[in-house]
Amino acid sequence: MRILVTGGAGFIGSHLIDRLMTEGHEVICLDNFFTGHKRNILKWLGNPYFELIRHDITEPIRLEADQVYHLACPASPVHYQYNPVKTIKTNVMGTLNMLGLAKRVKARFLLASTSEVYGDPEVHPQSEEYRGNVNPIGIRSCYDEGKRVAETLAFDYHRQNNVDIRVARIFNTYGPRMLENDGRVVSNLVVQALQGIPLTIYGTGSQTRSFCYVSDLVDGLMRLMNGDYIGPVNLGNPDEYTILELAQTVQAMVNPDAELVYKPLPQDDPQRRKPDITRAKTLLNWSPSVPLRQGLEWTIQDFRDRLEKADTTENSQTTLMSVAQA
Ligand code: NAD
Ligand code: UDP
């Protein structure tokens, strides 16, 4: 099949592309490189079955594909709040453009939605029937409400134009290739522990999240895309941890001497989050298999390698500069 992956140079998108390419598909990766990077898909450049297109999805584009995985959108609060109007445009105009493309070429379309559609949930764990508790005017709304509109657009294109849609509500996902400056909790804590600087806990650390390793998530996305159920379906790991527990785990695994520091809790930060994955289990025969400690080990190793490489490059650049200056 020819498969279009928007946001394919990003964290989840690049892992998905690895799976699709390995399975022998033709892949088009569309990305504007806002939070994605060419190094994530470097190994496929030059492969005749892989195409990379630098494009911003807020602008229309004509392409042909059998399936569209629509992932383009910054996912970390730090990045989606950097230019909130652009985040809304990406979710609304971008999703509209990609649904228009899917409609024109009769492609199956999967939307990467989010647990953020549940906002600061009053129901726990969150099942797909829960309609959420989102602040429409807060600093997270550009993302939360943007994704809610994206879901609405997907269902309206389905009802009105027969577009074959799939909607995944993704819960916190982590793993190799997250940006060092991503700003999300797993990458922050791991990078801080490796650098020997204090681990930042926002608020008291009693808020909870459920962390899914990226290979499990990609498996869920592909099962949803290739099954009959249109969704929405929660994809996430139901093992729930407080942020303090996560920080202590990272501390114990990387640097037991690292200090923990407490910072103010950001506005509208959800207190509890845990997916009810009954639908994914029964309809997709999916459940995550990588336990947190194992996933963290692989993630820590990836960050360690990258930070060491950056150090070496910096050192050799310094050496080169000193040589040049001498
Ligand atoms: P990411 O930031 O690593 O990837 C997003 C990619 O989209 C990047 O490569 C970025 O450059 C690209 N992009 C952003 N705006 C674009 C635009 N206007 N045009 C073209 N490309 C654009 O994030 P991720 O963690 O890989 O998330 C991928 C998708 O999954 C997002 O839609 C996100 O909302 C969703 N999601 C992720 C998580 C998670 O925990 N990682 C949780 C819920 C939902
Ligand atoms: N968080 C934290 N320290 C950090 C970064 C985040 O304590 O260095 C907290 C954040 O306030 C939130 C949780 O960790 O309660 C998860 O944050 P993240 O940005 O990873 O994802 P989201 O809030 O979107 O679930």
pLDDT tens digits for 45-76?
999 999 999 999 999 999 999 999 999 999 99
Whole-structure pTM value: 0.95
Tens-digit pLDDT profile for residues 147-191 = 999 999 999 999 999 999 999 999 999 999 999 999 999 999 999
Q: Of all protein residues, whose CA lies closest to atom 23 belonging to ligand 2? A: 269
Angstrom distance (rounded) from CA 166 to CA 254: 39
Buried b (16+ CB within 10 A) or exposed e, 235-247: bbbbebbbbbebb
Taking the C-alpha atoms of residue 165 and residue 156, their distance in angstroms, rounded to an integer, is: 10
- Ligand 2 pocket residues where CB is under 6 Å: 77, 172, 184-185, 188, 200-202, 207, 209, 243, 265-266, 269
Q: How many angstroms is it from 184 CA to the middle of ligand 2?
A: 5
Q: What integer best gives the mean pLDDT of the chain?
A: 94
Amino acid at 32: N
Q: Which residues does the annotation mark as catalytic? A: 143
Which of helix, strand or coil describes residue 263?
strand
Token pair of 212, please?
A: 């899914």
Closest CA to ligand 2's atom 4: 185
CATH of domain 2-308: 3.40.50.720
With a 6 Å cutoff on the Cβ, whether 218 touches ligand 1 is no
Q: How far is the CA of 74 from the centre of ligand 1 (A)?
A: 4
The backbone torsions φ and ψ at residue 3, rounded to the nearest 5 degrees and listed phi first, read -125, 125
Separation of CA 185 and ligand 2 centre (Å):
5
Instruction: Give start and end residues of each alpha helix (H) in the chain.
Output: 11-22, 77-80, 84-89, 95-105, 141-161, 185-195, 214-226, 243-254, 278-284, 292-325
Q: Give the closest residue to 31 by CA, choosing from 45, 49, 21.
A: 45
